[in-house]
Amino acid sequence: MMRQRFTLPKYDWTVYAYYVVTKPNADEILDALVGIGCHGEHLEGAYNNLTSGKLDTGLTYSNSSSCETVIVFAKTSSAKEFQQSYKHETGHLQMHIAQTFGIDPYGEEIQYIGDDIVDATWDIAKDLLCEHCRKH
């Protein structure tokens, strides 16, 4: 598993990202989720997802009060599957920020948030988007 912590400065939003997550990583991620205020059915759903051992899944949980997110990309079966998980989960992150700050989901600003997420995650994500890199 790879870990990353980054901030989106414009929104003072902290993201805890986990890549290539497998079942043995569940406890650490559940602790991170609890740490940002995840509980109840959201935590139970995360537990079920993380302990299922399934490939090609992910999750995103945000606490809009503290402007924090835990984003998880499970181990994927291919670069294409990582791209789909990456797009899906980062899309949730974009929407959580947009909802928190009242940003128009049809406007330009939400797209710039997506660009900022790509910039922040690129050094890790680029290797998971390449089949050659994934094998070496």
The domain ranges of the chain are 2-127
**pLDDT tens by residue, 22-33:** 999 999 999 999
- Eight-state DSSP code of residue 1: -
Q: E strands within 12-136?
A: 13-21, 58-63, 68-74
Q: Are 31 and 12 in contact (CB under 8 A)?
A: no
Extended beta strands in the chain, E state: 2-8, 13-21, 58-63, 68-74
pLDDT at 131 over 90: no
pLDDT mean over 63-81: 97
pTM of the model: 0.95
Mean pLDDT of 59-82: 97
**Are 76 and 85 within 8 A, CB to CB?**
yes
